[in-house]
Amino acid sequence: MQVTDVFVCGGGPAGLAAAIAARLEGFDVVVADCFKPPIDKACGEGLMPDGVAALAELGVFPSEGESGAFCGIRFVEAGRSVEARFSQGAGRGLRRTTLHEILHRRASELGVRFRWSTQVLDVNDGVVRTGQEQIRAKWIIGADGIHSRIRERLGLGRGRRLGRRIGLRQHFKVQPWGEFMEIHWSDRGQAYVTPIGPEEVCVVVVGRERFRSVEASLSWFPELAARLRRAEIASEQRGAVTEGCLYDRVTSGCTALVGDASGSVDAIAGQGLALSFLQARELAKALKQGDLNLYEKAHRRIRRVPMFMSRSMLWMDRFGPVRHWMQRVFYREPRIFEQMLSVHVGIAPLTVLGSGGVLSLGLQILAAQEVWDCVQRL
């Protein structure tokens, strides 16, 4: 029987980030996954500044040639737009396969060992059983995604499901038309547009109901449809389910969960990858201290703001009058949108949105009567 310090079940971005972080703390690490690299998955392919910074702490730096940059977020709907710049840093967009290649390369440089095309059949009392071998590990990390078998095997599936939606992704060959990641809104869903290179954008459409294709859904977003009218399609479309899941615990014995296996926020927040990288760093610190309770506490702290922002934006998705009111507020007072974005990317604390925060103050001054009218309509 082989022996290792850390065994990671799942070789996607979350698993590779956890492996890298553990190696940086001096652990011997093995990663296993059913697939071979590069591993793809439908996602928005954008990293907010906090995600870029978390990658940098792992020694991963996407180059300008393999990614695109954006300086903030723009909301677009019905001929009106509002935008806010990041107060610190910039975001980067890159294809999911490119991100996986970069993480795989970094992990290989650090000496992580891999078991590709290998299914983990069972974990029990620190022993991982695959189809070919058994490996004893001091620590086991479950990074096997939203339908994690490791989570279910350990009885960590208790919690709450906070909604479920469908997303489709496609790439278009077109020069990005601005400095922002765009979110186009409609009563049917959202379209996220991320620059992923000098001549390419990623478009992800997410809705509550099934829809046929990205191209067909563009009729929901007239401004985006006009931008892409003559653009060449650069990839086949790929779909995925996005949902919010909040689990009571993310550790059991010598095993911990990271990434979507440990819970997830709806894609509307755009923070899934960043959450994985931040969790990986905190988990490695906890392993170094030999105390997974430290990771439990850190995990709850890390997910707090993305969960809050996800719920808030899902309210905007579900209730058109609320969304239209909020967008009017942002348009009339951009400082409020900038403050919200600073909280979203971890630059400002969530408390600034509390009773004494600028958002609360701004909403009271700008729209007290509009709030009442909106509630009445609901």
Tens of pLDDT, residue by residue, the chain (378 residues): 899 999 999 999 999 999 999 999 999 999 999 999 999 998 889 999 999 999 999 999 998 888 999 999 999 998 889 999 998 899 999 999 999 999 999 999 999 999 999 999 999 889 999 988 999 999 999 999 999 999 999 999 999 888 789 999 999 999 999 999 999 999 999 999 999 999 999 999 999 888 989 999 999 999 999 999 999 999 999 998 888 899 999 999 999 999 999 998 887 777 889 999 999 999 999 999 999 999 999 999 999 888 888 888 888 888 888 888 888 888 888 888 888 888 877 776 655 555 444 445 444 444 444 444 554 454
26 touches 151 (CB < 8 A) = no
Structural domain boundaries enclosing 329: 319-377
For residue 38, whether the previous peptide bond is cis, meaning omega lies within 30 degrees of 0, is yes
251 touches 257 (CB < 8 A) = yes
Co-location of 54 and 156 in the same domain: yes
How many other β-carbons are positioned within 10 Å of the β-carbon of residue 163?
17
Co-location of 30 and 144 in the same domain: yes
H helix intervals, the chain: 13-24, 49-57, 96-110, 149-153, 214-217, 222-227, 272-289, 292-318, 320-332, 334-344, 358-377
Does 347 reside within a domain? yes
**Considering 286, 310, 334, which residue would you say is the last residue of a domain?**
310
Co-location of 108 and 28 in the same domain: yes
Predicted pLDDT of residue 132? 84
Co-location of 99 and 25 in the same domain: yes
Predicted pLDDT of residue 361? 44
Predicted pLDDT of residue 283? 98
| Longest CA–CA separation in the chain, Å | 70
Co-location of 302 and 342 in the same domain: no
- Total-model pTM: 0.90
Q: Output the six-digit token pair for 126.
A: 């620190």
Co-location of 255 and 151 in the same domain: yes
Co-location of 365 and 286 in the same domain: no
Does 209 reside within a domain? no
Does 228 reside within a domain? no
Short-list 94, 116, 93, CA closest to 104? 116
Does 70 reside within a domain? no
Co-location of 275 and 323 in the same domain: no
Co-location of 143 and 104 in the same domain: yes
SS3 state at 201:
strand
- 275-319 residue pLDDT tens: 999 999 999 999 999 999 999 999 999 998 888 888 888 888 888
Predicted pLDDT of residue 351? 59
- 131-164 residue pLDDT tens: 889 999 999 999 999 999 999 999 999 998 887 8
